[in-house]
Structure 1
Amino acid sequence: MTKKVDLDWNNLGFSYIKTDYRYISYYKDGEWDNGALVEDNVLHISEASTALHYGQQAFEGLKAYRCKDGSINLFRPDQNAARFARSCTRLLMPEFPQERFVEAIKEVVRANEHWIPPYGTGGSLYIRPLMIGVGDTIGVSPAPEYIFTIFVMPVGAYFKGGLTPTSFVVSEYDRAAPVGTGAAKVGGNYAASLLPGKEAKKRQFSDCIYLDPLTHTKIEEVGAANFFGITKDNQFITPYSPSILPSITKYSLLWLAEHRLGMVVKEADVFIDKLDEFTEAGACGTAAVISPIAGIQNGEDFHVFYSETEVGPVTRRLYDELVGIQYGNVEAPEGWIQKV
């Protein structure tokens, strides 16, 4: 590390911290420029930008991890690049070349290496790539120009004191339309979730359970994360739907459950009135990896899974396996880890 950062590494939260450099590239006249590292953390855009009026915007989230030997791991950044490309295509934005996407991430991480929390603190460097439509466009149409940028910030362990089961409540709101943008990582999906999330927290729940918008009978997502359940006969089940965001963490857990834990894995319907088929349940995503679900409130019914206070054994094993891979303590499947 070439620089020192004065932070309490053991007590980081998940909030914005301005680091030294970010990557930025501009799309104009049908092509991307070469991109560069800059120190300015303010984007200067037209008041008529489509990102401001019509939500033409997509983003990603991933992390860099400091390993015991001092090296730096990226966890499956090629998968973030591919998902980002799909999101941009859905919103008629130009694809940022996927190889350049990964290389730009490495460039930003190297430039801000001294902001990566030390090994053993449970912290990591959160990485936020995003693209916005800019330029002078007031009609409902794709933007003439785009900005792609990546910024980073140190974040702490999501769980203070370890994994902690929490409870969720079924929402009456829909997260996404049946053939809308639910499978794309775009800002509008998250803006729509703010009100139901606030209402859930008012009732002392961690967040919402969203059901499928067509029938309101099947679980789709848990707040901003994907759902999984462990059945009584030791199967790993996660919902399947074209309006679910395809979580990289979820697909990693599917692989690990099958190949490391020897479980049967399925993407299938998870009916809200059949929760008693599951002994454990959780939400999964980049921020928390796994958030164990203690119980789900559905109307007047409250269903408890493994325990309201203890983490189930399968959930614990999956968490330890995946976090071990990310920090370099457990052997990773081929191609999952890229060094910076």
Structure 2
Amino acid sequence: MISRRACFRNLLQSLRTSYSSSKIGDYHRFASRASSFLQQVFEPSTYSDDENPGVDWDNLGFYMMRTDYMYMTKCTKGECFEQGQLSRYGNIELSPAAGVLNYGQGLFEGTKAYRSEDGRLLLFRPEQNAIRMKMGAERMCMPSPSIDQFVDAVKQTAIANKRWIPPAGKGSLYLRPLLMGSGQILGLGAAPEYIFLIYVSPVGNYFKEGFAPLNLYVEEEFDRASRGGTGGVKSVTNYAPGLKPLTRAKSRGFSDVLYLDSVNKKFIEEVSSCNIFILKGNVIASPAANGTILEGVTRKSIIDIARENGYQVEERVITIDELIDADEVFCTGTAVGVAPVGSVTYKGQRIEFKTGPHTVSQELYTTLEGIKRGLIKDNKGWIVEID
């Protein structure tokens, strides 16, 4: 291994050569890169080869934790993505005129890696995230990695960061694939260059309540999405507009916001970070993914599991009155898993629902988590083993 002192000597020699043989502008650019390199060389490293990263796995929340590696590749408009590379986790360089910064030309995905009881490393349906990114990229006028390239990139990134995958039952490694217009564009249009990137963080439960039932507030002033918009894809532009109603709801003690349709204000659509289901008798219903609702991978999986368990499942429009009359309400998503809803507040009225053991949401949660973590045999081909 080359020592830091040797790196420093080599760098000084390169600087001398650059100074004597390059134009002043080239020299300054090289010097700037050299300064950044020197900072990395001589600053204490945050990385370690120790298999134990020193995380308190028993108190893991849902927040960003600096890990070891990220994956990145680029492509120019009209071309395919290059073979990606793993590099140390860190900042990336973007032009101020990048399409994602000026016009919001970006998508993101979310998937997880799990450690099974016998030590295997497992991914859950990553090809579904790849398919959804391709659909979103078409809507946002972007190229996208192939399904195989996406899945391979997720595998590489998870394996490179495997020491950050929590012990079985203690959490998961959240993987965040990003697709963004990185090329410069001044007038409104598609960027000329794109970056596909994946970073990771170990996470626990998404909501601060942990596994306690959620308390939702029905938002009537603000909309999440409208027909013909981007509500059905994971565009980066979908989420910042929801910060104001979400912040307001949390300040009043609620867990999250439940949105209504933008036209009639009487059909339930989606919670700000997850899909929603209602149960009445033996019938489980979820709003149809008709362009304003994101078709979640967890949502799709829960629908399949519920049908196999003998429930009648409907994807259709659901009125707020139907929700008020439901026996159970629960949310699904990659980040939240399956989260029971304890109450919904609508027009000042708080409606409570059945939660706890022996509920349908608990039954579905147990089955889904069992498959994800290798405790229940996977007969559907949902699990991808990576180690």
TM-score class normalised by the smaller sequence: over 0.9
1:6 and 2:18 are equivalent in the alignment: no
1:108 is matched with which residue?
157
Per residue, is there more strand in 1 or in 2?
A: 1
2:10 is matched with which residue?
none
Matches within 5 A, 1:91-170: 91-121=140-170, 123-158=171-206, 163-170=211-218
Which of the numbers 313, 316, 326 marks the counterpart of 1:268?
316
Which of the numbers 355, 361, 366 marks the counterpart of 1:320?
366
The structure whose Rg is larger is 2
Structure 1 alignment gaps of length 5 or more: none
Cα distance, 1:40 vs structure 2: 4.2
Give the 3-state SS of the residue equivalent to 2:313 in structure 1: strand
Cα distance, 1:334 vs structure 2: 1.9
2:98 is matched with which residue?
49
Give the 3-state SS of the residue equivalent to 1:245 in structure 2: coil
Displaced runs of 4 or more, over 6 A: 159-162
Cα distance, 1:176 vs structure 2: 0.9
The C-alpha deviation readout for 1:22-58, integer Å capped at 9, x for no partner, is 1100112623221100114211011100100110000
The C-alpha deviation readout for 1:236-285, integer Å capped at 9, x for no partner, is 110113210001101100000010x2111110111002224410001110
Matches within 5 A, 1:66-85: 66-85=115-134
Cα distance, 1:120 vs structure 2: 3.0
CA gap of 1:236–1:22, structure 2 versus 1, over 3 A, is: same
Structure 2 alignment gaps of length 5 or more: 1-48
Check the 8 A contact 2:259/2:270 in 1, yes or no.
yes
For residues 140 and 275 of structure 2, what CA distance do their matches in structure 1 show?
A: 22
2:39 is matched with which residue?
none
1:255 and 2:304 are equivalent in the alignment: yes
Cα distance, 1:226 vs structure 2: 0.3
Bigger mean CA offset, 61-70 vs 129-138: 129-138
Check the 8 A contact 1:165/1:311 in 2, yes or no.
no
Cα distance, 1:314 vs structure 2: 0.5
The alignment covers a number of residue pairs equal to: 335
Matches within 5 A, 1:229-244: 229-231=278-280, 233-240=281-288, 241-244=290-293
For residues 36 and 68 of structure 1, what CA distance do their matches in structure 2 show?
A: 30
Cα distance, 1:312 vs structure 2: 5.9
Per the normalisation by structure 2, the TM-score is: 0.83
Which of the numbers 368, 377, 385 marks the counterpart of 1:331?
377
> Aligned AA for 1:145?
E
For residues 168 and 214 of structure 2, what CA distance do their matches in structure 1 show?
A: 27
Check the 8 A contact 2:125/2:382 in 1, yes or no.
yes
Cα distance, 1:302 vs structure 2: 2.1
For residues 101 and 120 of structure 1, what CA distance do their matches in structure 2 show?
A: 26
> Aligned AA for 1:209?
L
For residues 45 and 162 of structure 1, what CA distance do their matches in structure 2 show?
A: 37
Cα distance, 1:15 vs structure 2: 1.1
> Aligned AA for 1:254?
I
The C-alpha deviation readout for 1:111-144, integer Å capped at 9, x for no partner, is 11111111132x1100000011012211100000
For residues 274 and 162 of structure 1, what CA distance do their matches in structure 2 show?
A: 27
CA RMSD of aligned residues (A): 1.6
For residues 160 and 311 of structure 1, what CA distance do their matches in structure 2 show?
A: 20
Check the 8 A contact 2:106/2:235 in 1, yes or no.
yes
CA gap of 1:179–1:8, structure 2 versus 1, over 3 A, is: same
For residues 193 and 289 of structure 1, what CA distance do their matches in structure 2 show?
A: 21
The C-alpha deviation readout for 1:193-238, integer Å capped at 9, x for no partner, is 101101111111111110011211100001211010111x211110
1:278 is matched with which residue?
326
Which of the numbers 74, 96, 105 marks the counterpart of 1:26?
74
> Aligned AA for 1:237?
A
For residues 277 and 333 of structure 1, what CA distance do their matches in structure 2 show?
A: 35
> Aligned AA for 2:139?
R
CA gap of 1:208–1:35, structure 2 versus 1, over 3 A, is: same
Cα distance, 1:161 vs structure 2: 8.7
For residues 96 and 358 of structure 2, what CA distance do their matches in structure 1 show?
A: 50
1:293 and 2:334 are equivalent in the alignment: no
> Aligned AA for 1:22?
M
CA gap of 1:28–1:219, structure 2 versus 1, over 3 A, is: same
> Aligned AA for 2:286?
T
CA gap of 1:328–1:100, structure 2 versus 1, over 3 A, is: same
For residues 91 and 207 of structure 1, what CA distance do their matches in structure 2 show?
A: 27
Per residue, is there more helix in 1 or in 2?
A: 2
Check the 8 A contact 2:229/2:291 in 1, yes or no.
no
